């Protein structure tokens, strides 16, 4: 499968997750999504705060900020993030939720062994 095909599949799944969150009554805003190589370095290069092999650099990750009744939920271990993360993991075999590695608002697709 090409990277482009995987990126398109990722985008469709993010749309489904946003719809799921809306039905559950969660408000969402985007955090980091694409990390431009001019700022963060190419995939495999460490520049700035981003990991060298971040899938954000491949357009395969986004951070979602959750709000309940307009209150930002900063704790990535909150049940709302767990609910979204577990739903995310059910959507696709490549789906990875950052709550499994101490980054609760991170939703990604694994690629080249990176998540």
Confidence at 21, pLDDT banded by 50, 70, 90: very high
DSSP string, 32-57: -----HHHH-STT---TTS-TT-GGG
**Tokens representing 25?**
């009554």
**How many independent structural domains does the chain possess?**
1
115 in any annotated domain? no
Q: Contact at 8 Å (CB) between 115 and 55?
A: yes
Q: Which residues have C-beta within 8 Å of that of residue 44, sequence separation ≥ 6?
A: 52, 53
| Residue 51 predicted with pLDDT over 90 | no
100 in any annotated domain? yes
Q: Contact at 8 Å (CB) between 107 and 98?
A: yes
Q: What is the CATH number of the domain that holds 11?
A: 3.30.1380.10
pLDDT given for residue 19 in this prediction: 98
Q: What residues make up the domain containing 88?
A: 3-109
114 in any annotated domain? no
71-112 tens-digit pLDDT = 999 999 999 999 999 999 999 999 999 999 999 999 999 999
Read off φ and ψ for residue 7, nearest 5 degrees. -60, -40
| Residue 16 predicted with pLDDT over 90 | yes
pTM given for the model: 0.94
């Amino acid at each position: 499968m090409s990277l482009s095909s995987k990126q398109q599949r990722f985008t469709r799944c993010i749309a489904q997750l946003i719809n799921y969150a809306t039905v559950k009554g969660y408000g969402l805003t985007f955090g980091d999504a694409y990390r431009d190589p001019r700022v963060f370095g190419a995939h495999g290069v460490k520049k700035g705060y981003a990991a060298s092999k971040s899938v954000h650099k491949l357009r395969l990750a986004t951070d979602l900020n959750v709000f309940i009744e307009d209150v930002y939920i900063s704790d990535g271990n909150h049940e709302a993030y767990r609910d979204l993360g577990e739903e995310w993991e059910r959507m696709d075999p490549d789906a990875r939720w950052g709550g499994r590695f101490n980054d609760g608002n991170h939703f990604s697709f694994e690629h080249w062994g990176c998540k």
